[in-house]
């Protein structure tokens, strides 16, 4: 076979391989959604907000933030440690870009954490267990003599705080209906009284406490029993809450 012909085939194979390798390497990799679970992750989130919005935020610092959680059937305000920063005199367009960034990155507005006023407001955002509050409003400042300058149209101050919710703070793993079902099937609770409408969830011990209504002849024995439901092992027992000797069960 002609040597030039063989060399030509080899050259074509080499060039084709190079073209394939270069085209494959230039394909964009699919975006990887960041996992925000640690303090470092919160700092990375704030850095990305600053970079994407172009707002000249201050340096991040440790902060405490208020957050409202639903503890069925009511809500409870808790305090979360996190990181935050702020900026003064930004445009309304820049302010809106912060919300757009959070929404586009999987955060959802939390209606329990929203306030609105004439010249200021706060909106809460949540993604899994990461929560952020964005607070801001019209800019105003004092002159040397202590007078307020009227806010400028479309100029705002902004403060962002982000932190991580823990399972142990305020959130029950089982619903109130499930707790009542477990309590209703427990013989000790059933023999000690009738489940009442008075109940409370203890987030420290992860238990539902349901007060028991008792027959009149036992109401003066110094006890105020509750059927206590453990949400982790899904069992119930009576806590008599007595001032003296425990009463005997029927």
Per-residue pLDDT at 128: 85
Between the two ends of the chain, the Cα-to-Cα distance in Å is 106
Query: How is residue 126 written in tokens?
Result: 């949540």
Q: How far apart are CA 85 and CA 113, in angstroms?
A: 19
Residue 249 lies in a domain: no
Total structural domains in the chain? 2
Helices (H) and strands (E) in the chain, counts: 5, 10
Of 110, 144, 164, which one is at a domain's C-terminal end?
Answer: 164
Residue 89 lies in a domain: yes
Q: How far apart are CA 86 and CA 122, in angstroms?
A: 13
Q: Are residues 158 and 204 in the same domain?
A: no
Q: Which residue has the higher pLDDT, 79 or 162?
A: 162
Residue 76 lies in a domain: yes
Domain around 202: 176-239
- pLDDT per residue as tens digits for the range 159-174: 999 998 865 445 567 8
The model's pTM is 0.52
Of 164, 188, 208, which one is at a domain's C-terminal end?
Answer: 164
Q: Are residues 97 and 197 in the same domain?
A: no
Query: How is residue 215 written in tokens?
Result: 């027959």
Helix ranges restricted to H, 26-129: 39-53, 92-104
Of 140, 164, 188, which one is at a domain's C-terminal end?
Answer: 164
């Amino acid at each position: 076979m002609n040597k030039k012909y063989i060399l030509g085939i080899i050259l074509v194979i080499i060039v084709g391989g190079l073209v394939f390798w270069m085209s494959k390497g230039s394909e964009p990799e699919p975006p990887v959604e960041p996992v925000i679970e640690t303090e470092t992750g919160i700092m990375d989130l704030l850095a990305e907000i600053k970079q994407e919005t172009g707002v000249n935020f201050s340096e991040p610092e440790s902060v405490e933030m208020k957050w409202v959680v639903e503890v069925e059937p009511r809500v409870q305000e808790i305090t979360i440690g996190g990181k935050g920063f702020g900026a003064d005199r930004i445009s309304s367009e820049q302010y809106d870009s912060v919300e757009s960034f959070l929404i586009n990155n999987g955060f959802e507005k939390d209606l329990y954490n929203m306030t609105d006023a004439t010249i200021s407001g706060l909106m809460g955002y949540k993604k899994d267990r990461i929560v952020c509050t964005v607070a801001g409003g019209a800019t105003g400042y004092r002159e040397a003599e202590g007078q307020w300058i009227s806010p400028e149209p479309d100029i705002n101050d902004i403060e962002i705080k982000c932190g991580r919710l823990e399972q142990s703070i305020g959130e029950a793993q089982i619903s109130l209906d499930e707790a009542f079902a477990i309590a209703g099937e427990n013989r000790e609770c059933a023999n000690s009284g009738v489940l009442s409408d008075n109940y409370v969830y203890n987030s420290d011990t992860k238990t539902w406490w349901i007060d028991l209504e008792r027959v009149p002849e036992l109401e003066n024995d110094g006890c105020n029993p509750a059927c206590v439901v453990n949400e982790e092992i899904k069992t119930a027992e009576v806590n008599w809450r007595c001032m003296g000797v425990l009463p005997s069960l029927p």
